[in-house]
Structure 1
Amino acid sequence: MTQPSSADSEYRAAARRLCRRRLLTGTAAAVTLALGIDLPRPAHAAAKLDPARIDKDPFTLGVASGDPRPDSVVLWTRLAPEPYEPDGGLPREPVAVRWELARDKGFTRDVRSGEATAHPEFNHAVHVVPEGLSPRTGYYYRFRTGIWTSAVGRTRTAPSAADASGSLRFAAVSCQAYHDGYFTALGHLAREEDVDAVLHMGDYLYEYAVDAHGGDRADPTLRLPDRFNKETVTLEDYRLRYALYHRDPDLQAAHAAHPWIVTWDDHEVENNYADETPEGSPPEAFLARRAAAYRAYYENLPLRPPQQPSGSSLQLYRRLQFGRLAQLDILDGRQHRDDQSAGDGWKVPTDETARPDRTMLGTAQERWLADGWESSRAVWNVVQQQTVLSRRRNRTSGPYPLSMDAWDGYPAARGRFLDAARKAGVTNLAVLTGDVHVHYAMDIKEDFDDTGSRTAGVELVTTSVASGGDGVAEPGDWQTLRDANPHMKFYDGRRGYVLLTLDQRQLRADYRTVDRVTRPGAPVSTAASFVSRAGDPGLKEL
C-alpha cells in the first residue's frame, strides 16, 4: 500500500479525536466534528453559483432513479465537470438544477418539473422525489443547469397497493469491482425490457487501489490519476471512487434504463467489517472511516431522505410494496451484526459460533422484519440481502468448515429468521443474495441435515458483475459443492445477473451469464432457468 498522504494523516488525527470524544458527545456528533461532514447552510446564507459560469458538461456521472413507490420515485444526479478532481471541478457554492419528468422521451407530455439545489456539502449531488405520480407507470426524466442538459433516464413507479394483476420483473446484481473487469453484464441489463427495478445486493464499489490502466481492464487508453491508486479511507477517497465507477458507460446505461433499489455489503467501507469492528483499519479510526463511506454512499445513489446518514450510522433497511404481488424487504446485514466468530474465512464452527444471542441483523431489524411479515398480504415475500443464507459445505465429510461471514457463521440468527417467516405464515419466501461471485439456486430447508424436511423458501444468489474476473461455468469445486449440498440446484462461476419474474402462480429465475469481463464485448446468454410455484416452494429447472 502507498504511504499515507497528508489527507490520510489528517483523517487519522481526526479519528483519534473521535475516539476521545465519543463517550462524551456521542458517535454521530463526534464523527461530524472530526471529519467536518457538515450539512448545507440555509438557502439565504449561501449565494448560488451562476450556472452560466459552468463551461464544461457537469453531467458526466449520468443520472439514476430508485426506490419506486406507487406515487413517487427518487431521481438522482451529481454535478462534476471534472469528475476525477476532488471538488468535481466546481467551487464550494450551491448550484440551481432544474429537473423535468415526462411521459415521453421527447418531453412533450410534461408531468412534473421543478428546481433543486446541488449543495457543495453533498459534493453537488441532487436527490429529487417527485410525488403524486401514477402507479405502475413509465416516465422519462432529465436535469438542466445553465446551457447543459443531462442524459435522459427512464424510470417506473410501483403498482398500487391493491393491484394483484400482471407480473413483476426484477434484476438482481452484485459485486462490481472496477479493477477486476468491465461491467459488460450491466450493458446487457440496460437493454433488458420490462424491468420494474434492479436490486443491488451490495459491493457497489471496492475500496482497493486502482492503477492508471484500470487494473485487470488493462485499458491502454486509460490514464487515471495517481489518487485512485490507493485504498479508500477518507471522504474524498470514497467520493472519487464513486466518480470513477459512475463514469463507466455500462453502469451509466443500466442506471438510466431502470430504477435501482440498493443495499450495501462490506466493500463500500472495508472488507468483512462487522458493525464497529474493522478487518484491517486501526480500531480507533474505523468509525470515522465508516462515516465517510456512508456519507459518500448516500450522496452517490438514488436513496430517499430517510436514508441520509447521521455520523457513522445510516438507516438502510426499509420496505417497498409492489401491489399485492410482492413485498420487498431490503436488509442491512453489515452495520448491525456481531463480529465474525473464529475469523472471517471458512472455519469449523466453535462454541462462540453457536451462541444463541449472536445476531446478523440486530434486535431492532429482526423485530421490524418479523412485524413486516406478520402484516404482509403479498403473494411473494422477497428479501434483498447480502450474504448466503442457506448452509454451504465445501467438503462431503466432516468436520465441516463453514463461511463465518455468511449466515452459516450466525446459525441462531438464521434460525430466528426462518422461525419468524414460519410463524408469520410466509408461504412464498424468496431470498435474493450476492457476495460470493457465483450463481447459486438453492432450496431453503427447515433442517439442512434432513433432505426431506420442509422447504421454507428459495434462495437465488446472483454472481458478480465483474468481481473475480473472468469466470467459468464449472469452477474446480463444482462437483464437491453439488454433492455436499443436496439443496443446491444450480452453481455457475461466470459473471452476470439474475432476472426474476413473479406473478400469482409462480416465480421464475433466469440466470444470465457472460463468459469474460477482462475484455469488453462478451455476449450474454441464459445458463439456466428455474421456477417455484406459489404455495409449493422449491426450485424446478425448466
Structure 2
Amino acid sequence: MPSAQLTRRQLLGATGASGLTAAATLITSSAPAGATPWSRTNPFTLGVASGDPAPDGVVLWTRLAPEPLALDGRGGMDDKPVQVLWQVATDPGFGERTVVRAGSATATAALGHSVHVELNGLLPDREYWYRFRAGDQLSPVGRTRTSPAYGASLQELRFAFTSCSNLPAGYFTAYRHMAQDDLDLVLHLGDYIYEGSGASPLPGRSHVSGKEIFTLGDYRTRYSQYKTDPDLQAAHAAAPWIVTPDDHEVENNYADEISQIDTEPDQDRAVFRARRAAAYQAYYEHMPLRRRSLPSGPDMQLFRRIRYGQLAEFNVLDTRQYRDDQIEGCTSACPERWAPERTILGADQEAWLQDGIGASGSTWNVVANQVVTFDADGTAGAGESYGLDNWMGYAGARQRWYDAVHRRGVDNMVVVTGDAHRSVVSDLKLDFRDQASATVGVELLGTSISSGGDGTDIDARGRTWLAENPHLKFVNVQRGYQRCVLTPGQWRTDYRVVDAVTTPDAPVRTRAEVFIESGRPGVAGITRH
C-alpha cells in the first residue's frame, strides 16, 4: 500500500522500530517537552474509537480530556487548539514498513477538543491499527477494519449489536466480552448514556454530577464518565462502530421538539431545542461520526446507509428526531395508533427507507432500529394493550413500511432493535392480527448492556407476550449483547447473556442461537441452551 510520500515527521518517528514499545518511544520523543500544560498528563483518558467504515477508509476518533470528570465539561483543557498527530498501520507494532497513513488534526475547544479523522485511500476489507499523539502523550492503540468493495462477494460478516448501557445500573462486562469476539463491526442502537441523576449502590457507578443533565457541559461530563469505563473502551478499540441515538442521549421519551418534561406552550419548545442542541453536539463530540453528522443547532443528520459488499446493507434509522408526539391516554386496542397521518420517521426518511430496501441488491437488508416494530399485546386473556413509545404507537406508519416491503418482493429484511432491555425474536407479519398473513421479515430485539439490572431468564411480561403473540418465538430478560454471523446462505444470531451486572467479571454464555435462511422471510430455527 502506498504511503503517499510520507515525510519523516509524518511518520511520527517510526523509523524501523520493531514492536510497540520501541515505536512509541520514538514517537513520543519527537514532541517538545513541556509543549502544553498537560504534556506530562495523559489526555487520552477516554480511549479511542473508529466508525462508519467505507471500502477506502473509516472515521478515527479521540477526545483530549486529561481531567475527564471535571464538572464544567472541559475535561481539563483550556481554549487553545491542539494539534493531534495520528498514524495508521497494517500491524499493531507500527513498524517502519507497515505505517500506511499519517497526519495531524486540530482539536478545538468548540468541539470539546474531539478529533474526527475521515480516512480515505485505504484498501477495502482490510484490518488496520491506529493511534494518536498529543504533546508528549501517546494514545492507546485501536483496531479497525474497512468495509469490502461495494461489488465484492463477501463470504462472511461478523458483527454485534447492543444498546442501553446505564452506568449506575451495573458493570459493562458485556462490552468486554464483545471486545474479545473478533468482530468486523459493532452496531450501537441507542441509550449510550443516561441523562438522569443516577445514584448507584455499586462502587464508582453513580453519575458524578448527581443531577439530570441539561447543558453542553453537563452532557460532556456524562459522556466522559461513561467513556472512562475500561470495558467500553475495549469494545471501541476492538472494531469499528456504527452508532445511532435513542432518547436517553437527550431526554427520556422525547419526540422531535416535544419534551416529556416541559409540555406547555411554545416557549418550552425553545428551551427543549436548546437542550437537544447541546445533547446532539455532545453526542457528535464523543462518537466516530462523519462530518455530515455534525449538528446544526438542534438538528443532526443520523439516518444513513452503509454497505458491506454484496452481502449486507445497513439502513441506520433515526426514530426520535422527526416523530409525532406519543399518544396519551389510549387504552385497550388503541385505534388511534393506526392513524395514517402519524409518523415515526418523517416523510423523507420513510421514503428513503422504503426505496433503499426495495432497490437493494444485497443478500441481507439490515435495518438498524432503536425501538420495537413488532406488535405485542401485553394483556393476558381478554383485552389488549400496546406500547406507545415504539412502533406499536405508530402502527399506521409501520404498515406503510411493511406493505412496501411486501409489494416490492423483498425477502431478506432483518430488523435489529434495542431499547426494551430484553431479548425477543419475532416474525414480522404483514398483519399481526392474522397469523396466516405474509411474513415480511424477522426482528431481533436485543437486550441491554446493563439497564434494568441483573434481569432473569423470563418475567411475567415475557410469559404474557409469548402467550398472546404467536409471532414471538423467543423471550429472555438477561443482560448481554447479540453476535451475528452472516453468510450468503444463512444468518445466525447468538444471544449472549451474563448472569449478573451488579457483580463484576460475570462470565458470558450463549442462551440461544437463531437461524434465518437467505431468501426465506421468517425464523428458520432456534436452538436454546
TM-score normalized with structure 1 length = 0.87
Identical-residue share of aligned pairs (%): 49
1:272 paired with 2:253, answer: yes
Q: 2:197 maps to what in 1?
A: 209
* 1:503 CA drift (Å): 1.1
Distance 2:242 2:471 in 1: 28
Partner of 2:231: helix, strand, or coil?
helix
Q: 1:65 maps to what in 2?
A: 50
**One-letter code of the match for 1:233?**
F
1:132 paired with 2:113, answer: no
Q: 1:314 maps to what in 2?
A: 300
Distance 1:459 1:173 in 2: 14
Q: 1:291 maps to what in 2?
A: 277
**One-letter code of the match for 1:259?**
P
* 1:325 CA drift (Å): 0.4
Distance 2:169 2:490 in 1: 36
1:123 paired with 2:108, answer: no
1:247 paired with 2:217, answer: no
* 1:371 CA drift (Å): 2.0
Q: Is the 8 A contact 1:170 1:196 kept in 2?
A: yes
Distance 1:476 1:521 in 2: 28
Pick from 107, 112, 119: which aligns with 2:94? 107
Deviation track 1:291-334 (CA, whole Å, cap 9, x = no partner) reads 00000000000000000000000000000010000111000001
For residues 390-469 of structure 1, the aligned pairs below 5 Å read 390-469=374-453
Partner of 1:371: helix, strand, or coil?
helix
1:363 paired with 2:347, answer: yes
* 1:223 CA drift (Å): 9.1
Q: Is the 8 A contact 2:422 2:479 kept in 1?
A: yes
Distance 1:502 1:451 in 2: 28
Partner of 2:431: helix, strand, or coil?
coil
Distance 1:491 1:93 in 2: 52
Q: 1:238 maps to what in 2?
A: 219
Q: 2:30 maps to what in 1?
A: none
Distance 2:87 2:459 in 1: 48
Distance 2:453 2:253 in 1: 20
**One-letter code of the match for 1:115?**
S
Distance 2:333 2:284 in 1: 36
Compared CA separation, residues 508 and 224, structure 1 to 2 (3 A): closer
Compared CA separation, residues 347 and 292, structure 1 to 2 (3 A): farther
Partner of 1:403: helix, strand, or coil?
coil
Q: 2:370 maps to what in 1?
A: 386
RMSD: 1.5
Distance 2:114 2:145 in 1: 22
Partner of 1:143: helix, strand, or coil?
strand
Q: Is the 8 A contact 1:51 1:96 kept in 2?
A: no
Pick from 359, 375, 391: which aligns with 1:375? 359
Q: 1:158 maps to what in 2?
A: 147
Q: Is the 8 A contact 1:51 1:145 kept in 2?
A: no
Compared CA separation, residues 225 and 473, structure 1 to 2 (3 A): closer
* 1:224 CA drift (Å): 7.0
Q: Is the 8 A contact 1:499 1:512 kept in 2?
A: yes
The count of corresponding residues between Structure 1 and Structure 2 is 484
Q: 2:160 maps to what in 1?
A: 171
Q: 2:19 maps to what in 1?
A: none
4+ runs of 1 displaced by more than 6 Å? none
Q: 2:176 maps to what in 1?
A: 187
Partner of 1:498: helix, strand, or coil?
strand
Distance 2:207 2:465 in 1: 42
Q: Is the 8 A contact 2:372 2:418 kept in 1?
A: yes
Q: 1:97 maps to what in 2?
A: 84
* 1:190 CA drift (Å): 0.6
Partner of 2:456: helix, strand, or coil?
coil
Distance 1:271 1:347 in 2: 22
TM-score normalized with structure 2 length = 0.89
1:511 paired with 2:495, answer: yes
Instruction: Give structure 2 stretches of 5+ with no counterpart.
Output: 1-33, 263-267
Deviation track 1:38-76 (CA, whole Å, cap 9, x = no partner) reads xxxxxxxxxxx9447523100000000001111110000
Partner of 1:477: helix, strand, or coil?
helix
Distance 1:253 1:53 in 2: 24
Distance 2:171 2:109 in 1: 31
Deviation track 1:247-292 (CA, whole Å, cap 9, x = no partner) reads 0000000000011100111000000000011111344411100000
Q: 1:82 maps to what in 2?
A: 67
* 1:481 CA drift (Å): 1.4
* 1:225 CA drift (Å): 8.3
Q: Is the 8 A contact 1:342 1:349 kept in 2?
A: no
